[in-house]
Amino acid sequence: MQQSGRIWYNIPIMKWTKSLIQTLRENPGDAEIDSHKLLIRAGLARKVAGGLYAYLPLGMRSLKKIQQIVREEMDRAGALEIVSPILQPAELWRTTGRWDTMGPNMFKLRDRGEHEFALGPTAEEVFTDLAKSLISSYRQLPVTIYQIQWKFRDETRPRFGLMRSKEFLMKDAYSFDTDADGADRSYWNMYHAYERIYARCGLKAVPVQADGGDMGDSMTHEFHVLADAGEDGIAFCDGCGYAANLEKAERRAAPCADADCPAFEEVATPNAKTIEEVAAFLGLPADRFVKSLVYIADGKPVMVCVQGDRDVNEVKLKRFLGAKSVALADFGTVLKATGANAGFVGPVAPADASLKIVADIALKGAKGRIVGANKDDFHLKNVDLARDAKIVDADYADLVVVKDGDICAKCGKPMAIKRGIEVGQVFKLGTKYSAAFNAVYKNDKLEDHVMIMGCYGVGVSRTLQAVIEQCHDKDGIIWPASVAPYQVIVENLDPDKPEVTKVADDLESALEAAGIDVIVDDRAERPGVKFKDADLIGFPVRVVVGAKGLANGGVEIKRRCDDKSKMQVVAPDAAVEAIKAALEGE
Ligand code: ATP
Ligand code: MG
């Protein structure tokens, strides 16, 4: 029951002293990035164990607001909400073969009857199976079904708080269509819903092309929030707007203009294995070297040559070779294929004369380069790749991870590399899952056809932290009003004075009645402490109610995003309008 003469008993009120808010002065020891530090210090979440968090009342409010935005935009896009179990039977995963291929990221367990289950890391199998049982006719299509449900992944390195946790909230949606055009429409429908979701969360999220993985050349975009703390690299081209993650990003490179060189010769490079070591030993820059690595592609060794200062992009390599899997070869394989240990291998006369050799496009025409001699502790100098290694034109392709300044494959302008946090992904799946489940519909001639699918994920809990990463300063979080735990904090500076408390409480009721959520800081603390906490948590608007201010004409209104000096004093009865305006101008 509410007291203090309130009429509207159904209006929620929140006083700091009853809110369980606890802010911390110290950064948590395991926090590397600002948003993780602020998440904990502002009392939004608490770590329960590595990669596992409890959402505290403040964090829960923001999480619910993000969920609600996601839900509204999914509903607006015509998607249907359901909820499916977190505990998923192994049989469904066996249907697609993913029970074995998901690897250690999937949590597996048994019930008392020894039946196997997974804690859902995603739900393609469950949704495809549901669609198969719910959909029989083309008349029911297209349809998109979604849920907002906890997901589990045994990440190799859970870190950065909610960004990469073992348990996280994801919105996952799955679309079912009769044909490719329909699947295309469903895809863009979700893509545009995602644009609206992130914009409403106050986030600048950019769609970037990504690699379709096992789904061949299928279309997929990741939505990234640009932030230096992001785990992913993204290549951007200002010239044509091309944006792709580093797995996918393609580049153009002109053949090199090396001058002819004399016959190659051996040089001793004892113990100098890495490019850095050999470069230092011979006193030459890394780009004069050819880095040669042996991979195993679908069980067969392949040598990949790239310029010494570049890294192999395994996704591109896999595509170029048309292989199902590629991985670096073990020591034994390297020795057998080349005659030397890693660090001294090269494309000139490897031990296995039939070893397939491919090279990055930037090495086309490379002459006078240094390569491993296929003999431990030796390199070859003055190598002409075409002359000495017999690498033919068809064996060159774009095989490296792009770098800042690389040339855009689309328009020829230089690209820039930025860091991003993946907050969502949209994916055209084709019939990979529906074919495995034989999820078919009948067309108008009563013939069976496999449905065409798409899947669409939003990392809801990761988005919460991405907002903090994008919106903070040295004092704390600067919440966008749409997802702030409370939009307004009323600082009652004199909670022991009934006349001041009445103004603060009346303002609270009036704001709630106007649909603005508000918390009253009723602590008997010094103003400095209260303001520091308000800045740390980052409520969009702070209203100060104190005896001194009231005597001087009113309450003080300040937006968190404004400079400290920018403050407005208004009479208490004009406060609601002024606060509304402050929130709108936010
Ligand atoms: P990542 O590459 O970051 O591991 P993913 O591409 O494997 O993510 P998806 O399968 O695309 O993830 O899942 C949809 C969304 O769920 C991601 O875009 C991301 O926002 C979120 N997400 C994925 N893994 C985690 C995690 N461990 N913790 C929090 N959110 C996650
Ligand atoms: Mg993804």
| Cβ 148 under 6 angstroms from ligand 1 | no
Q: What is the pLDDT of residue 9?
A: 54
Residue 429 CA: distances (Å) to CA of 15, 67, 108, 458, 470: 49, 25, 25, 16, 31
**pLDDT per position as a tens digit, 313-333:** 999 999 999 999 999 999 999
Exposure on the CB side of residue 162, measured as CA atoms within 13 A = 31
**425 alpha carbon – ligand 2 mean position (Å):** 5
| Cβ 424 under 6 angstroms from ligand 1 | yes
Task: Please name which ligand lies nearest the alpha carbon of 457.
Answer: 1
Confidence band of 215 (pLDDT split at 50, 70, 90): low
Q: Closest Cα to residue 357, out of 311, 388, 401?
A: 388
**pLDDT per position as a tens digit, 371-385:** 999 999 999 999 999
**300 alpha carbon – ligand 1 mean position (Å):** 32
| Cβ 168 under 6 angstroms from ligand 1 | yes
Judged against a pLDDT cut of 60, whether residue 548 lies above it is answered with yes
**Among 425, 458, 463, which residue has the most ligand 1 atoms within 8 Å of its CB, making it the best to mutate?**
425
User: Which of 60-69, 282-291, 374-383, 485-494 is predicted least confidently?
Assistant: 282-291
Q: What is the pLDDT of residue 217?
A: 56
- Segment 211-225 shows an average pLDDT of 83
Token pair 């092309």 is found at 209
Judged against a pLDDT cut of 70, whether residue 563 lies above it is answered with yes
| Cβ 170 under 6 angstroms from ligand 1 | yes
Instruction: Tell me the pLDDT of the chain averaged across its residues.
Output: 95
Q: What is the pLDDT of residue 12?
A: 65
Integer Cα distance of 548 and 500 in angstroms: 10
Q: Closest Cα to residue 500, out of 536, 543, 531?
A: 543
**442 alpha carbon – ligand 2 mean position (Å):** 32
Residue 114 CA: distances (Å) to CA of 108, 110, 339: 12, 5, 50
425-456 per-residue burial string, b: 16 or more CB within 10 A, e: under 16: bbbbbbebbbebbebbbeeeeeeeebbbbbbb
Judged against a pLDDT cut of 90, whether residue 3 lies above it is answered with no
| Cβ 126 under 6 angstroms from ligand 1 | no
Q: What is the pLDDT of residue 2?
A: 44
| Cβ 223 under 6 angstroms from ligand 1 | no
Q: What is the pLDDT of residue 148?
A: 98
Integer Cα distance of 583 and 586 in angstroms: 5
**296 alpha carbon – ligand 2 mean position (Å):** 26
| Cβ 343 under 6 angstroms from ligand 1 | no
| Cβ 535 under 6 angstroms from ligand 1 | no
Integer Cα distance of 422 and 163 in angstroms: 9
User: Which of 273-287, 385-399, 452-466 is predicted least confidently?
Assistant: 273-287
Across 12-100, the runs of DSSP E, i.e. the strands, are: 45-49, 52-55, 80-81, 87-89
Judged against a pLDDT cut of 70, whether residue 430 lies above it is answered with yes
Integer Cα distance of 461 and 459 in angstroms: 6
Q: Beta partners for 152?
A: 167
Q: CB-based contacts of 384: which residues, under 8 Å, 6+ apart?
A: 260, 261, 264, 366, 367, 368, 369
Integer Cα distance of 512 and 503 in angstroms: 14
This prediction has a pTM of 0.93
- 3-state secondary structure labels for all residues of 91-141: HHHHHHCHHHHCHHHCEEEECCCCCEEEECCCCHHHHHHHHHHHCCEHHHC
Judged against a pLDDT cut of 50, whether residue 211 lies above it is answered with yes
- Segment 405-434 shows an average pLDDT of 96
Could you tell me what percent of the chain has a pLDDT over 90?
91
- Segment 91-117 shows an average pLDDT of 97
Judged against a pLDDT cut of 70, whether residue 1 lies above it is answered with no
**pLDDT per position as a tens digit, 347-397:** 999 999 999 999 999 999 999 999 999 999 999 999 999 999 989 999 999
Q: What is the pLDDT of residue 11?
A: 57
Q: What is the pLDDT of residue 121?
A: 98
DSSP state of 349: S
Q: Give nearest CA residue, ligand 1 atom 13.
A: 457
**pLDDT per position as a tens digit, 163-208:** 999 999 999 999 999 999 999 999 999 999 999 999 999 999 999 9
Integer Cα distance of 309 and 276 in angstroms: 9
Domains of the chain: 34-249+417-468 (3.30.930.10), 265-397 (3.90.960.10), 486-584 (3.40.50.800)
The alpha carbon dihedral of 261, 264, 267, 273 has a sign of: positive
- 3-state secondary structure labels for all residues of 519-539: EEECCCCCHHHHHHHHHHHCC
**449 alpha carbon – ligand 2 mean position (Å):** 29
- Segment 419-441 shows an average pLDDT of 97
